[in-house]
Amino acid sequence: MAQKTDAEHHPVTLSLNGGKVTPSTMWLQVNPGHTLEFSSKDGDEVDIQFEPRDAVDPVTRGLKVITTVRKVPFEFRCRVKPPGRSEFFGWPEHKGAGGCGQPDPPHIDGIQPTPLPRGSSNTDITLFGLFCPSGSIGQVNGNDRPTPSFDKFKLVMTVLESDLQTTTGSISITVRIPNNGPTSGPFSLQLT
């Protein structure tokens, strides 16, 4: 059997933090065949539940939980048994106490207004598509821009005056999910 590369092996350390079990990474960016390895710096035992359950090979709780990804996207919820305690802390006993998801990349279907006048001042634009409601950041030509509001289907971002000084006929708009999450494909915004 071939040895997994670092890009295919994903260690995740769980810690107790302010009443929650938090993973060391929020977005795993894994593919089928990749290995996940869960451990805890604050507990004697970890327990991980995946949704959908068949997203990974079957898992059992223990000092470490190691499994192979079968399909994405998925979410996981985690529990930790603190040292010297007989009960676990975390999900599902404590709702919202731990876990994260493997999000689909954001997707832009359209932008309003368009086109924008070249050389104009800061301008708010509205993007329509599919975004991560827990966090999305608009970008112009790969650079983060102020994103004052967003939900699952609509995002408002600011195109800066400096972005609109370009001599080309368009700028590239993308949306990324923070904490090393995925980025949408580019959407061309025309300038006149």
Burial class (CB in 10 A: 0-12, 13-18, 19+), 123: middle
Residue 16 makes CB contacts below 8 A (sequence gap 6+) with 22, 42, 43, 80, 82, 89
Q: Residue 6 contacts by C-beta under 8 Å, 6 or more apart in sequence?
A: none
CATH class of the domain whose range is 107-190: mainly beta
DSSP per residue, 168-181: SSEEEEEEE-TTT-
* pLDDT given at position 142: 94
Residue-level pLDDT, tens digit, the chain, 192 residues: 445 556 688 888 888 876 678 777 766 667 788 899 999 888 888 888 888 889 899 888 888 999 998 887 777 888 888 888 888 877 666 555 455 555 667 889 999 999 999 999 999 999 998 887 667 899 999 999 999 988 878 999 999 999 999 778 999 999 988 767 778 999 999 999
What distances in angstroms separate CA 188 from CA 45, 108, 141, 174, 185, one per listed residue? 49, 10, 10, 9, 10
Q: What pLDDT, on the 0 to 100 scale, is given for residue 1? A: 44
Domain at 9-101: CATH code? 2.60.40
Task: Spell out the domain ranges in the chain.
Answer: 9-101, 107-190
